[in-house]
Amino acid sequence: MRLSPELGPVCLESTNLMSTNSQLLSIKDLSISFGGLKALNKVSIEINKNEVIGLIGPNGAGKTTLFNALSGLVEIDSGVLEINGTQHEWPKPYELIDLGISRTLQGVGLFPELSVLENVMIGGSNFARSGLISAALGLSAKDESKLKARAMTALERVYATGLANRRADTLDYPVTKRVAIARALISEPRILLLDEPAGGLGPQDIEWMNSLIHNLSSQCSVILVEHHMDVVMSVCNRLYVLNFGQVIASGDVESVRRNPDVVAAYLGAHA
Amino acid sequence: MIKLITAILTALTTGAIYALMSTALVLVWRSTRIINFAQAGQAVLSTYIGYEVTVRTGSFWVGVVAAMIFGALLGAVIDRFFMRPIFKRIQSGPILMIAPVVATLGLLGIIQSIIGFKWGLTYQSLAAPVSTDGYTLFDRVIAFSPFNLLVVVFATVSMLLLTLLFQKTNIGLALRASAHSPEIARLSGIKVDFIRTLGWALAGAAGGLAGMLYIPSSYLYPNAMDVLLVFGFVAAVIGGLESLFGAVAGAMLLGFAISFATSYVSEKLVFPMAFIMLIVVLLIRPAGIFSKKKGRRD
């Protein structure tokens, strides 16, 4: 199954790629090392409301490590996290949703034996009563039906409602990408971390993904790790370029594209 | 004819008890990837608690509730204060493969020693709440009593409740997600450590119930549940280790195989039959006869 042709218009809502300058998240001087290897060295980034920023750089530059730090999957050496101008502890993975942050994974990461609907519902577990006693007494039934409704809405946003009852391991790869994004959207995040959403997709599906990211930016901010430069250049307001764990350039797309350090380190092959 | 009916009814009764044990093993396996050899010890200790409460209150049913609650608490405590610290320290290397086996076998020994100190090594008997005299069928007494019927009903209702919990509730969804991919479950906001502990607690409660339903037909002593652990393990492997349905179906298959072999061939075939089934399944379908095939693609 392909993503684009039968899906109809994607941009239902007006896109808003203009920064509002209201800072939503800021990471200052983040350093992480694995043994003797410095994976990130005093990296600072910030993202504003309804902004799409791109993290680019060669393989091993530290992009996914930065996502993992923000997701609580790796321990940091030092660094400050601010959300809405307030300093926060670095979150544990299960606290991410409560902070208004959702992420997708490079490897999609659907639960193969669960249905598409269940896969999406898992992303909204925080919104349903989950106590054993309430479940046993049937008190959670109302919450669960609300959660199902939320999951259907999230699937609608990625045009996958028709797949709700399919087992995840029966889906083709491009469709799994959509379901993974729906799972991230069910919690209505303020910040969405997309890890290579266009990876492994064909040209038509990539075009569809572009439109989806444009749309999403009207509802939340997006931090994008992506190797497809067409996607990065078309959807991002600003870019941070990482190389060997350091930010070597940042700014709007055009200034980064012209930056000689960036051309040398990464974009040279694509420019 | 009577022989056939008796064999079927005996198979249902033993299969029901095996199902509770295999379910307990599958619950822990799914949530932590550990084969819990201590399950026999947990179940028998919970049964001792149920036995004590039954003796003091005079009510078998209060004893059952006590055994299940204690079993759940014991399971939760073992996970929180024993298994979790061990696996926080052991993240990789060959010891990671061995540690669960050694840890749970060691725990089994510790629990059985504690029981020995507290209650001694003597056999205790626990009276069933209803008659254990077999029903009369065609003027002949068969080896199926009102208590056996109660065992089948209780085990069936427990399985149905567990299935509902897993398939129809949000917490069941969290249990299934955490079993498959803890990291993704965590990123989705699920407190995986709590969910794992819940898996151990549910398994402990199932073990306590299995013990209280098994002991009235046998005796209570520190190793009373060892045989059930073996049959529960065989049933879980036959069912594929991953699903509750597989655990129950594997237990029923095992119950029927043993019952028919002992009824029609020889009473000495109890253990050989179980291991023959295990070996055949491992040779022909190592993932278990109820393991799911990959679904259809577009």
Q: Would you state the structure tokens that stand for residue B101, as one six-digit string? A: 């086996």
Q: What is the DSSP string of chain B?
A: -HHHHHHHHHHHHHHHHHHHHHHHHHHHHHHHS---TTHHHHHHHHHHHHHHHHHHHS-HHHHHHHHHHHHHHHHHHHIIIIIHHHHHH--SSTHHHHHHHHHHHHHHHHHHHHHHHHH-SS-B----SS--SPPEETTEE-S--HHHHHHHHHHHHHHHHHHHHHHHSHHHHHHHHHHH-HHHHHHTT--HHHHHHHHHHHHHHHHHHHHHHHGGGS-B-TTTTHHHHHHHHHHHHHTTSS-HHHHHHHHHHHHHHHHHHHHHT-GGGHHHHHHHHHHHHHHH-TT-TTPPPPPP--
Nearest to B278 by CA among B251, B260, B244: B251
Residue A147 pLDDT grade (very low, low, confident, very high; cuts 50, 70, 90): confident
Question: What's chain B's average pLDDT?
Answer: 89
CA distance A192 to A116: 20
Over pLDDT 70: what percentage of chain B? 97
| Nearest chain B CA: its distance from A126 CA (Å) | 6
- Which residue among A125, A136, A143 sits closest to B188, beta carbon to beta carbon? A125
E-state strands within A35-122: 37-48, 52-56, 78-83, 86-88, 101-103
* B183 CB within 8 Å of a chain A CB: yes
Q: Do A94 and B186 touch (CB under 8 A)?
A: yes
Range from A95-109, B10-24, B32-46, B140-154 carrying the lowest mean pLDDT: A95-109
Confidence of residue A113 (pLDDT cuts 50, 70, 90): confident
Task: Compute the C-alpha angle A10/A14/A17, nearest 5°.
Answer: 105
With beta carbons less than 8 A apart as the criterion, state whether A141 and A118 touch.
no
Confidence check: pLDDT of B77 > 90: yes
State how far the Cα of B22 lies from the Cα of A202, in Å rounded to an integer: 46
Shortest distance between the Cα of A114 and any Cα of chain B, in A, equals 8
pLDDT score at B33: 82
Predicted confidence (pLDDT) at residue A170 exceeds the cutoff of 70: yes
B242: confidence class by pLDDT, cuts 50, 70, 90: confident
Q: What is the pLDDT of residue B1?
A: 79
- Between CA B174 and CA A196 the distance in angstroms is 26
Specify whether the CB–CB gap between A170 and B295 falls below 8 A. yes
Nearest to A239 by CA among A40, A55, A90, A1: A55
Residue B180: per-residue pLDDT: 82
For A143, the closest of B170, B184, B298 (CB atoms) is B170
Spatial distance between the Cα atoms of A121 and A145, rounded to a whole number of angstroms = 10
Between A and B, how many residue pairs show a Cβ–Cβ distance under 8 A?
96
**In angstroms, rounded to a whole number, what is the distance separating the alpha carbons of residues B243 and B290?**
8
Here the ipTM equals 0.77
pLDDT tens digits for A179-202?
A: 999 999 999 999 999 999 988 888
Residue A15 clears pLDDT 70, i.e. is over it: no
Comparing alpha-carbon positions, the chain A residue that sits nearest to B243 is A113
CB A72 within 8 A of CB A90: yes
pLDDT confidence band for B293 (50 / 70 / 90)? low
Overall average pLDDT of the A106-127 stretch: 86
Average pLDDT, integer, range A206-212? 90
CATH architecture of B2-284: Orthogonal Bundle (1.10)
Residue B296 pLDDT more than 70? Answer: no
A-chain CB neighbours of B189 within 8 Å are 94, 96-98, 123-126, 187
Q: Tell whether the model's pLDDT for residue A244 goes beyond 70.
A: yes
Mean pLDDT calculated for residue range A133-151:
72
Mean pLDDT of B70-84: 94
Mean pLDDT along residues A141-162: 87
Three-state secondary structure string covering B211-269: HHHHHHHCCECCCCCHHHHHHHHHHHHHCCCCCHHHHHHHHHHHHHHHHHHHHHCCHHH
pLDDT for res A230: 86
The mean per-residue pLDDT over the stretch A266-270 comes to 53
- Give how far A30 is from chain B: nearest CA, Å: 21
Averaged over A40-51, what is the pLDDT? 92
Domain ranges of chain B: 2-284
- As to burial, measured by CB atoms within 10 angstroms (0-12 exposed, 13-18 middle, 19+ buried), residue B258 is buried
Phi and psi dihedrals of A225, rounded to 5?
A: -105, 125
Domains of chain A: 5-114+172-269 (3.40.50.300)
State pLDDT tens for residues B155-212.
999 999 988 888 888 888 888 888 888 888 888 888 889 999 999 999 999 999 999 9
Taking residues B205-232, report their average pLDDT. Answer: 93
Average pLDDT, chain A: 83
Query: What per-residue confidence (pLDDT) applies to A131?
Result: 56
pLDDT (mean) for B218-234: 92
Mean pLDDT across A30-51? 90
B91 shares contact with chain A (CB less than 8 Å) = no
Higher pLDDT, B94 or A154: A154
**B160 at the A interface (CB within 8 A)?**
no
For the segment B249-266, what is each residue's pLDDT rounded down to a tens digit? Answer: 999 999 999 999 988 988
pTM of the model: 0.82
Mean pLDDT of the region B88-93: 75
Least confident of A32-46, A124-138, A195-209, B183-197: A124-138
Average pLDDT in the A165-173 region?
92
